[in-house]
Every structure is written in C-alpha cells, then in structure tokens.
Chains A and B, each alone.
Chain A
Amino acid sequence: MKLRKVLAMFLVLIMSMSLLAACASDEEKGDTSEEVKTESNETTDKEEAEAPEGLQPEDGAELLVWESEGPEGDFMERAIEEFNKIYPDVTINYEPVGHTDAKGKLALDGPAGVGADVFAAPHDHLGELVESGLIIPNTEFNANYAETFVPAAVTAVTYKGETYGYPVSIETYALFYNKDIVDEPVKTWDELKEFAKEYNNPSENKFALMFEAANAYYDYMFLGGYGSKLFGESGEDREQLGFDNENGVEAMKFLHSIRTDIMDIAAADISYDVMMQGFNSGQFPYMINGPWAIQDCKDAGTNFGIVELPVLPNGEHPESFSGVRGLYVSSYTEYPNAAMLFANFCADLEMTKERFEITHQIPVRTDYQVEDEFIAGVMAQAKYAKPMPAIPEMGSYWTVMGSVYTNIWEGAEPEAELEAAKEAMLAMYE
C-alpha cells in the first residue's frame, strides 16, 4: 500500500514538474540556439566577403526537404543522391509535403524545429512567405540570375526587389486535344462552341470540352483575356483589382456562356479525376490542363496534342496564369549554408535536365531548351501567360474569386457578383 501511495504522489508531482521544466528548459535552449545562430551568421558574412563560390556546408549539417509526392519527390531523392556525391557529409532527408501545403505547415513546424530546411512552393505564395518571415533571401547565388534563368522565372522568385527562391520549373495551362477525335484543333472559342453543338451528348456524358470551371486558377484566363489585370500590370498593386469594370463583366458573361454552350455541368460535379478519365477515354476531345498531366495521358496511351488556348470573341488570347515552382530556404534552418547549397544545386544545369526527365516540368534555364512537342504546345500558350501575382493579398483572390466564379458558373448576375467580390476582397485586407 505504501508503495502505491508513493508512486501515485510522485506521478502527480513529476507530471506537473516536467511540464514546467519542459517550458523552462526549452526557453534556455531557445536562447542558446539563438547565440549559435548569430555566430554562424557572422561566419557566413565573412565567407561571403571573401569568396561566395567557396560556400561550404556546416559540419554535420542535416537537412530536411519538402516536395510534393510523385515525380517531384522522385526527383528530390535523385538530387539528394547526387548532392551527396559532392558533399558526402551532409545528411538530407526527404518528406512528401505538397508544395501548396508547405506555407501553412511551416508556420508552426519551422519554429518548432521540425520544419523543412529547403522546400518547394509556388511563387504566388512568395508574398505571404516573406511577410510572415518564413524564408531567407537567396543572397549567395543570385548574381547571375538574369542570364541564367528566363525573365519570368527571375521575376517570380523576386519580391520587393529581393531574390528569395531558386526557380526550378515554370508551368501554365493550355488546350489538350484528342487526335483520334479531332484532326485539327480549334483556333477560337466560337469554333469550339460550334463543334460542341454537334458533338455534345449529355446523356452519354459526351462534352466537347472539360476543365475545372470553378477553379480560380483557370478562370483568370478570361478576366485577363478581356483586359482585366489583377493587381495592376505589375501584379503588385493591391488596390487595383482589375475586374471591377465593364471588362470584368464581359469576361464573366463569357465564362457563363461556356456553361450554356459547351459544358452544362454543375461546378460541384467537375473534378480533376473526372476530367482526366473522360479525356483519356475519349468522352471529352478537349481539356484545359497543364504539363503535369502529360505523363498521365501518355501512360493511358492517349493520342493527344497540346496547343495554345483558343482565341476569345474579342480577338484576344486568354491570359492564363503561369506559375514558377521554386525552392526556398526556411528562415529557421540550422544550416543555412548547406540548405542554400542544396537548393542551388537542384536548380543547376545537370539537375534541371534530370528534373525534366523525371517530372516533365518545363525548365526555366536559358542554357537548356527542351525539344518536345507537348512542351512546345504549352510554351506557345506561355507567350500570353501572366505570372500569378505574388503579393500577400493573393490569398484573398483565391478565397473570394473561387466562390465568385462558382456563382457565375451557376448563373449569378456578373455585375452584382463582381461588386460583392470587390467589397469582400477589400474587406479582407483589413
């Protein structure tokens, strides 16, 4: 009995103490690591002054890398292997974290010490990443970026004049068509509507075109094509929404006309899965999709081609969003040198070639052009593409316009919807 009592009391005591101790000791730990950090930073400064090329990884550096699962992840594992041939002492672990999820995860994981040192992110997250202090600038390797990378890629990883990322690929969406069904792809949306009149057969689920009609990523092409520039020409002016005018209304009317004339399907019933399946099985001769789908279509044995998006009734090309995937170095990394070296390594010529082989994403280096009929199709559209704005307010575009496009697709009045969208977006700035 006595033993039990003692045990019970100790349990209570230890639990409360260890909690307090955990908090207290962690504080201390935080302090010491801060010191270490500042020290190591000084040394980098010195090295930088002498020879940036001679940047060496810290002793015993251990990195964690986040990249999406799938081909991108496969590439990462390959890159780690290669990197270790040069720097055998750096341990690098890869964990699958979607590149769009990295921002949200790092906010907590970074400070807690379990976040990535190097991670992939789309460039429209850049503003939020910088404003919330999650990444450090790319100061070591940005000197020759203007010559090394295509202009769009350099712009995409730059925020307020400072370079942050290490660009690895660029992407936009274009028109996929099934060569077994159409010989010559349509040039204009009017032609596509004509084609739909003959082709569509809803009872057999045959539709001329399929795309994710309520997705703000795709639907921007109509706004842009009708002359609405989101956040201004530069994409950095948060006061200029661009769509709160006649052009915006035109664009939205056109978006709805696709529903009535080409694909009369509720937004909630359209999914990526449905689109891919129907395209590969020949139900939908056209789809709007990006280069990430090329491998899947090839695997399915579909005989397909890719061309630029059809011309709008106003004679303009749709202005698709283009995105640049970049690698970024977390501001919480214990080994900034190793992290920067690795991120840079993944963006160099050799690795860019590797990356293309594995992921089929479009490279952004000026010294490496890809000869590929599918990529050529995407690149044709890329001429008319607009890099997604990277300011922090992009987050409110996704939320607000996501539901506005849905509403319009389901038949809401464009004027009222855009007015509401404007109010909602401005309200979210606070």
Chain B
Amino acid sequence: MSVKGKTSSQKKNISLATIFSILFMGLGHILLGFQAKKMKSQSPKAAKKNALELYHILFFKGIIFIFIEIFALINFNSIAKAIYGLVTLGTVTGEKIMKNNDHSIFLMAEGLIIFLVVLVILAIYLYSVLDVYKINKRLATDQYFIDIDYSLKGVINDMFPYFVLSPVALMIIFFVFFPLLFSCLLAFTNYSMPYHMPPKNLVDWVGIQNFIDMFSLPNWKEAFVGVFTWNVIWAFIATFLNFFVGLLIALMLYDKDIKFTKGFRTIYILPYAIPQMINLLVWKNLLNGQFGPINLSLKAMGIIENSIPFLSDPMMAKVSVILVNLWIGAPYFMLLLTGILTSIPKNLYEAAEIDGASGLQKFRKITLPMVMFATAPLLVMTFSFNFNNFGAVYFLTGGGPDNVYPPGSGAGATDLLVTWIFELMNGMQKYHMAAVLSLLVFTIIAPFAIYNFTKTKSFKEGEY
C-alpha cells in the first residue's frame, strides 16, 4: 500500500476502490467515477471530454451494481430459504390441507432457479471487481486520459458481444439449461407415481439407487440394452438410407437426358412440405396389417397371400418405421443434394470425358467426393436429429409392438430412448427413471459431440 512517488496518493485511492468493490459491488465504480471527475480538471483540454464520459460510464455502472447487490441482500432470506428447500426437498408433510404441505418438486425447482440466479449475481460481482481492478490499473498508468480511449463508443465496442449475448444467455440458462439440469437432478430422487408424488408425500434424494436399479433389475436392464441398441442402429440406417435414396433421386433428376424434372421434383417435395405428424398418422392407417389398404391392395392384386404384419411383428415394425421415415426424409436430401450437384463445376466432367472416363468413374471420382465433402457435417447433424426422432416412432407405432421386453419397463420393440422417456413421464409418471434415461443418453452422446466439435475448422481457428 505504501507506494512512493508522485502518484502514490492516487494509487492508494484506486486500490481502495478495488477493496470497496469487494466489500460492496458498485462502490468501487462510484469512487473511481469521482476520481475521474477530479482528474478531469487536471487533464489537458483534449482529454476533458474523455474524462467526463468515463465519469458517466463509471457512475452508471456503479449504480446498477449497487442496485443488484441491494436487491440480493433484501432477498437474502428467501434465497437462503430456497437453497434450504433444494437441499431438503421439503419437511412439512401430513397436513390435511394439501397447500400447507411442502411440495418437493416446486421446492426443488425454486431452489434451483434461485441457485442459478445467485450464480449469475456472483458472476456479475466477480466481473465488477475485475472491472474496477482493470480500470484502476489503467488510470494509474494514464492519468491524463490521452493514450487510452475511454469514450462511450469505445466501451460499447468492447462490450458489444456481451450486450448481444447476455439476453440470449439468460434465455438459454432459464429455458434450456435449467430444465435439463432439473431433470438431471430428478434422476437422483424417487419422484414417481403413486407413493412419491407431492403434495401428499415428500420426494427424497435417493443417491444413485435409480442407476443401480436400471442396470441390475432384469426388466429395466434388458429394456435399456435393447432400446439403446436399436436406437443406434436406427439412427445410422435412417440417416444413410435417406441420404443415398435422396442422392439417387437427385442424380436421376440431374441426368441431362431426363425431361419433366421440375414436375417430378415438385411431386417428390410433397412429403417434406406436409407436416410430419400428419404423414405419420396417415401411414399408420395405411399400414394396418389386417385392414390397411396396402395389404388389401397387395392381396387384391395377388402379390401376397397372407397379410404382411407391418406394425405387429417386432422386426417388420422396425423395417416399417425405417421405410416410412425414408418416405418422409428423402425429399429433404433430394433438395439439398440437387443444390450441391448444381454447384459442381461442369468443366470437371468435361475434363474427365476427354480422359475417357465412364459414367460410373465420373460418379465415383468427381460427384461422390464433392457431395460427401459438402454434406459430411450435415450428416452428423442429421444423425443426432434421428437419434432423437420422437415423431417418427411415436406417431407411427407408439413404440409398439410391446411384446419383446419384459413387462413393467414400458418399452416396446420400436421405442427409441426419447419415446420411452416420454412414455415413462406421461404414461407411467415414473419421472425418476425417465430422468435416469435422459442423463444416460447425455453421457453417452456428449463426448462424441464434443470430440466432433473439436475437429471442426472453427474450433481450431479459435478466437482471434
């Protein structure tokens, strides 16, 4: 503290500002603001405006920070109560009037929200201290406001990313991050029908018991392994089949000997244009094994003798789901690949023709590499979309047929993890097991996604 020299008194004041800020967020800014105002008088003329603007900025920031801290302090009690609720999940139970009982789930949610808000406030707090520290260092080295631009415009420029992103970040924190965090927490409770449902009963923390159940109780384990395996297979087949059929159609329509391409394309685009749920529910009726028009037609034409069990045989139902998804998904790839094909330079083909390349060679050496190069990242995205493709299964088969896994898990032959989770939540109200599944999905896929991300160009380039 005992710095000697001309500016020692100033430095003292400024360090004081940092300490002030640590004690009470925003005070440091106010102090520095006055400092700047004082310094304004000593500054050369050219820097006067600069100093004044700095004063305004600091004052404004300081007041906002003070408000935030006051707000937090006023609500200290409810904050503490909320955190307590999160830890205990409620203590009052057995009251005749339900409203007087603690509702564990709401306590948990409120506690978590408050916890996040506290985190945000702490982040602001940390920022305010660092900000004061940074400005005070600058002021110490440049007391006459000449070298460094303190103007409002400069500050805005520096802060621009944060201005734009902080509302977005808040939205994501509260509407995406918070719900997911909440459902992760549920995995460690016993929240389920009928005996652990608030408000009559409290929900308790049960540690990793649910995970142990998932992997030790035969009905859960078998269903999980089965559903997960099918889910991975499904995502692969659904993605690549759609891609290649889409490519095939795009290539056929791109052939220079084919006419009416626009007409064909217009027809093929229809499944993509009509909302997915409608398509799937229509297909569900078309594919009814006994009464659906497809089997009736095939029988009438003498192609088959016995009905094809499109939706009732476990294996066949899986095939049906994949094929219907192809019907719905191929047009998207067709459109996409048409766009990419058009962008391949014509002279590449001309050069190849001069070299005497056959049609197949041209496809293998030019078209396919170009197309794959352009679509590879998209295939990854489509894969993750299909992995969680709720509609394709839910509306077509509802997860059925049900006769492959031991009873009690609620899973069926075509169930994906998502549809199973949905059934557990909505149908059986086994929120705890649904949460366990979502957490498992997350831990399995997240590493792949992050690995994939670290390989992208934009990550390697990093921040410039």
| Chain A residues in the interface with B (C-beta under 8 A) | 1-2, 4-5, 8-9, 11-13, 15-17, 19-20, 23-24, 27, 30, 33-34, 37-38, 41, 104, 107, 111, 127-128, 131-134, 203, 205, 214, 265-271, 274, 278, 331-332, 392-393, 395-396, 399-404, 406-407, 410, 412, 417, 420-421, 423-425, 427-428, 430
Q: Provide the residues of chain B in CB contact with A265, threshold 8 Å.
A: 289-290
Q: Is B71 an interface residue (CB 8 A)?
A: yes
**CB closest chain-A residue, reference B423:** A399
Across the interface, do B194 and A392 meet the contact criterion of CB distance under 8 Å? yes
Q: Which of B101, B193, B194, B400 contacts A268 (CB 8 A)?
A: B400
Instruction: Determine whether the beta carbon of A205 is less than 8 Å from that of B200.
Output: no
A107 and B429 contact, CB distance less than 8 A: yes
Residues of B near A30 (CB, < 8 A) are 99
Q: Which of A23, A392, A404 has the most CB of B within 10 A?
A: A23
In the assembled complex, the CB of A163 is this many whole angstroms from the nearest CB of chain B, namely 16
Q: Note all chain B residues with C-beta closer than 8 A to A407.
A: 402-403, 407
Contacts of A34 in B (CB 8 A): 99-100
Closest to B218 in A: A423
Tell me whether B401 is interfacial, beta carbon within 8 Å. Answer: yes
Q: Is B11 an interface residue (CB 8 A)?
A: no
CB of B131 within 8 Å of the partner chain: no
14 further A-B pairs in the complex, CB-CB below 8 A; given A203-B299, A427-B408: A20-B71, A27-B81, A38-B100, A133-B197, A133-B201, A205-B291, A214-B402, A274-B290, A395-B193, A395-B194, A400-B407, A402-B402, A403-B412, A420-B406
Q: How far is the CA of A190 from the CA of B197 in the complex (A)?
A: 47
A421 to B412, CA, bound (A): 16
Cβ-based interface call for B384 (8 A) = no
Asked if B335 lies at the interface with its beta carbon under 8 angstroms from chain A, I say no
In the assembled complex, how far is the CB of residue A101 from the closest CB belonging to chain B, in whole angstroms? Answer: 10
CA distance A20 to B313 in the complex (A): 53
Q: Which residues of B lie under 8 Å from residue A4 when comparing CB positions?
A: 156
| A107 partner residues in chain B, CB cutoff 8 A | 197, 429
B119 to chain A, nearest CB (A): 11
B99 — which chain A residues lie within 8 A by C-beta? 30, 33-34, 37, 111, 331-332
Tell whether, in the assembled complex, residue B194 and residue A410 are in contact, meaning their CB atoms are under 8 Å apart. no
The answer for the CA separation of A33 and B114 in the assembled complex, in Å, is 22
**Chain B hits for A23, CB < 8 A:** 78, 82, 110, 113-114, 117
Chain B residue with minimal CB distance to A407?
B403
Q: Which of A271, A392, A406 has most B Cβ within 10 Å?
A: A406
B193 touches A269 (CB 8 A): no
B369 → chain A closest CB, angstroms: 44
Q: Which residues of A contact B313 (CB under 8 A)?
A: 266
Q: Say whether B351 faces chain A, with CB atoms less than 8 Å apart.
A: no
- Contacting pair B408 A424 (CB below 8 A): yes
Kindly state the interface size class of chain B when it binds its partner.
35 or more
Residues on the B chain within 8 Å of A20, using CB: 71, 75, 114, 117
A241 to chain B, nearest CB (A): 13
Interchain residue pairs with CB less than 8 A apart (16): A1-B152, A15-B170, A19-B113, A23-B78, A23-B113, A24-B78, A27-B110, A266-B289, A268-B311, A271-B288, A395-B429, A400-B408, A406-B402, A420-B406, A421-B407, A424-B407
B contact residues around A111 at 8 Å (CB): 99, 103, 106, 199
B166 is an interface residue with CB less than 8 A from chain A: yes
Contacts of B292 in A (CB 8 A): 269
Residue in B82, B174, B193, B291 whose CB lies within 8 Å of A274? B291
Given contacts A23-B82, A132-B194, A205-B291, whether A2 and B309 have CB atoms under 8 Å apart is no
Residues on B lying within 8 angstroms of A by beta carbon are 64, 67-68, 71, 75, 78, 81-82, 97-101, 103, 106, 110, 113-114, 117, 120-121, 152-153, 156, 159, 163, 166-167, 170, 174, 190, 192-195, 197-201, 217, 219, 288-292, 299, 309, 311-313, 317, 397, 400-403, 406-408, 410, 412, 426-429
How far apart sit A16 and B410, CA to CA, in the bound complex (Å)? 40
CB of A5 within 8 A of CB of B289, answer no
Shortest CB distance B254–A (Å): 40
Chain A minimum-CB-distance residue to B296: A205
Contact A131 B163, beta carbon cutoff 8 Å: no
Q: Which residues of A contact B406 (CB under 8 A)?
A: 420, 424
Give chain A residues whose Cβ lies under 8 Å from the Cβ of B403: 403, 406-407, 410, 412
Q: Which of A266, A407, A425: most chain B CB closer than 10 A? A: A266
Residues of B within 8 A of A24 (CB): 75, 78
- Taking CB as reference atom, which chain A residue is nearest B78? A24
Are B167 and A12 neighbours in the complex by a CB distance under 8 Å?
yes
| Complex: A271 Cα to B121 Cα, angstroms | 56
User: Known: A2-B152, A20-B114, A424-B407. Is A38-B401 also a contact (CB below 8 A)?
Assistant: no
Tell me whether A268 and B117 are in contact (CB under 8 A).
no
Known: A104-B429, A266-B312, A403-B403. A132 touches B197 (CB 8 A): yes
Contact B78 A27, beta carbon cutoff 8 Å: yes
Q: How far is the CA of A133 from the CA of B68 in the complex (A)?
A: 40
| A13, A132, A134, A417, most chain B CB atoms within 10 A | A132
In whole angstroms, what is the CA distance A9 to B67 when docked? Answer: 13
Q: Tell me which of B75, B121, B291, B408 contacts A396 (CB under 8 A).
A: B408
Q: Which residues of A contact B199 (CB under 8 A)?
A: 111, 132-133, 331
Please tell me if the beta carbons of A268 and B71 are within 8 angstroms of each other in the complex: no
Q: Are A403 and B200 in contact (CB under 8 A)?
A: no
Considering only CB atoms, which chain A residue lies closest to B68 in the complex? A13
- Kindly list chain B residues whose C-beta atoms are within 8 Å of the C-beta of A133: 98, 101, 197-201
A399 touching B407 by the CB < 8 A rule?
yes
Q: Is the CB of A131 within 8 A of B117?
A: no
Q: Report, nearest first, the 5 A-B pairs whose CB atoms are least far apart.
A: A133-B200, A424-B408, A266-B312, A392-B194, A132-B197
Given contacts A8-B163, A427-B408, contact A274 B288 (CB under 8 A): yes
Residue in contact with A132 in the complex, picked from B68, B201, B291, CB distance below 8 Å: B201
Q: A11-B167, A19-B174, A268-B289 are in contact. Are A131 and B407 (CB under 8 A)?
A: no
Write out the residue numbers on chain B whose beta carbons fall within 8 Å of the beta carbon of A274: 288, 290-291
Residue picked from A41, A401, A430, most chain B C-beta under 10 Å: A430
A392 B195 Cβ-Cβ under 8 A: yes
Chain A residue with the shortest CB-CB distance to B312: A266
Task: Kindly list chain A residues whose C-beta atoms are within 8 Å of the C-beta of B113.
Answer: 19, 23
With the chains together, A401 CA to B317 CA distance in Å? 22
Q: How long is the Cα–Cα vector from A53 to B6 in the complex, in angstroms?
A: 92
Contact, CB under 8 Å: A403 / B290: no
Q: Which residue of B lies closest to A37 (CB)?
A: B99
Closest to A36 in B: B99
A406 near B408 (CB under 8 angstroms)?
Answer: no
Chain A residues within 8 Å of B429, by CB? 104, 107, 395
In the complex, which residue of chain A has the Cβ closest to the Cβ of B170?
A15
Given contacts A12-B170, A19-B174, A132-B201, contact A403 B163 (CB under 8 A): no
- Contact of A41 (CB < 8 Å), options: B97, B101, B289: B97
Residues from chain B with Cβ under 8 Å of A400 in the complex: 407-408
